[in-house]
Amino acid sequence: MISNSLLEVRNLHTHFTLGGWLDTKQVIRAVNGITFHINRGEVLSLVGESGCGKSTVGRTLTRLENATSGQVIFDGKDVLQMPASEFRILRRDIQMIFQDPYASLNPRLKIVTTLSEPLFCHKLVRSRSDAREKIADILERVGMDRNDMHRYPHEFSGGQRQRIAIARVMILAPRLVIADEAVSALDVSIQAQVLNLIKKLQQENGMALLFISHDLGVVRHISDRVAVMYQGNIVETGTKHQIFDEPNHSYTKLLLGSIPRIPMGIYS
């Protein structure tokens, strides 16, 4: 395992087989043999155009999609080879923030119930009063009011719902968070607030972060390193300064020249 590496992905493939006319089959190679690592406490951004396979990477790492082949080594253990019972325990350490906060929150449950479930699932509290204290604390840390726990998701704005989704992840103190387009569904001004919140919590908790995005302005703000993905492959990896100031691959240069970027001052 690479020194200081928390996560090491080795030759990962995730393919999907689609039915076609006359019983023909089409294989979609969404992830086609990628290799990368994330160090402890590091922010690695995975960037590329829509459809390049970057979201499938995040879903494969969390076993929401089945890998075709390869290895995902987390702290020395292959996640893909674990029995379901063992991986269920590991889910506390590997958490995911999704793009649509409303879709990821159960509309029928109050926030207190939504945030209590992972605490009881991983046996981090012994009583409902203990759970409410932890929930109040994490809500305040993400910029919400502790009394918000008694409300339903539809009573909040999109930015507030994403803060609640982040609270649900951070209440478990994970070691790796995968943020899949976590701010792309939000208005620009709200994007900046939520992005700064994610970065603040990442630094305070010392967790590793895989930040998946198509927005280069956002990526430049939050990253330590950047991996550029194109048609299921990682074509270039480097520090954010190397990628943005001295790109080597032709696709990286094209991406930098074609994707609109948010002015950096908005994140200050």
Q: How high is the pLDDT of residue 21? A: 63
Q: How high is the pLDDT of residue 22? A: 56
Q: How high is the pLDDT of residue 57? A: 97
Residue 196 CB neighbour total at 10 angstroms: 15
Q: How high is the pLDDT of residue 18? A: 82
Domains belonging to the chain, first-starting first, are: 5-262 (3.40.50.300)
Contact 220, 233 (CB under 8 A): no
Chain length of the chain: 268
pLDDT tens string 108-139: 999 999 999 999 999 999 999 999 999 999 99
Q: Print pLDDT tens along the chain (268 aa).
A: 556 899 999 999 999 988 766 566 788 999 999 999 999 999 999 999 989 999 999 999 999 999 999 999 999 999 999 999 999 999 999 999 998 888 889 999 999 999 999 999 999 999 999 999 999 999 999 999 999 999 999 999 988 999 999 999 999 999 999 999 988 878 877 888 888 889 988 988 899 999 999 888 889 889 999 999 999 999 999 999 999 999 999 999 999 887 555 554 555 5
pTM here is 0.90
